[in-house]
Amino acid sequence: MIQNRRLHPALEKVRFSVKPLEHQSGRPVELARTMRVHPLSYQELPYDPEYSLYAGRLTPETLNLATADEMYWKVRRELIFRHTGEHPFEIRGKDAEIFLNRIFPRDVSKVKTGRCSYQFACYHDGGMITDGLLLRLSENSFWYAKADGDLFSWYKAHSHDLEVEIIDPEVWVSQIQGPRSMELLSNLIEGPMPDPWNYFDWTEVMMAGEKVIISRSGFTNELGWEIYIRPENDIEKLGDLILESGKSLGMILTATPGFRARRIEAGLLSAGADFDHTTTPFEVGLGRYLDFDKNEFIGREALIKADPKNRSW
How many domains is the chain built from?
Answer: 1
- Structural domain of 122: 34-313
* Residue 226, domain member (yes or no): yes
Nearest of 62, 61, 128, 119 to residue 88 by alpha carbon? 119
Contact of 264 with 274, CB cutoff 8 Å: no
Whether residue 123 lies inside any domain: the answer is yes
pLDDT tens digits for 241-298?
999 999 999 999 999 988 999 999 999 999 999 999 999 999 999 999 999 998 899 9
What pLDDT is recorded for position 313?
A: 43
Strands 252-253 and 80-83, bridge-based pairing: parallel
Cβ within 8 Å of residue 230, ≥6 positions away = 169, 170, 171, 212, 213
Cα–Cα dist 79/70, whole Å: 11
Q: Which residues of 15-54 are buried (b: 16+ CB within 10 A; e: fewer)?
A: eeebeeeeeeeeeeeeeeeeeebbbbbebbeeeebbbbbb
Domain membership of residue 13 (yes or no) is no
Question: Residue 300 falls within a domain, yes or no?
Answer: yes
Is 7 a member of any domain?
A: no
Q: Check if the beta carbon of residue 48 is closer than 8 Å to that of residue 63.
A: yes
Task: Look at strands 224-229 and 210-215 and give their pairing.
Answer: antiparallel
Q: Which CATH number fits the domain that encloses residue 278?
A: 3.30.1360.120
Q: Cβ distance 36 to 19 under 8 Å?
A: no
- 221 phi-psi bin (left φ>0, alpha ψ -120 to 50, beta other): left
Residue 92 forms part of a structural domain: yes
Task: Identify whether 310 is part of a domain.
Answer: yes
Residue 247 domain-assigned?
yes
Between vectors from CA 86 to CA 285 and to CA 5, what angle results, nearest 5°?
60
Task: Report residue 1's pLDDT band, with 50, 70 and 90 as the boundaries.
Answer: very low
pLDDT tens digit sequence for 180-219: 999 999 999 999 999 999 999 999 999 999 999 999 999 9
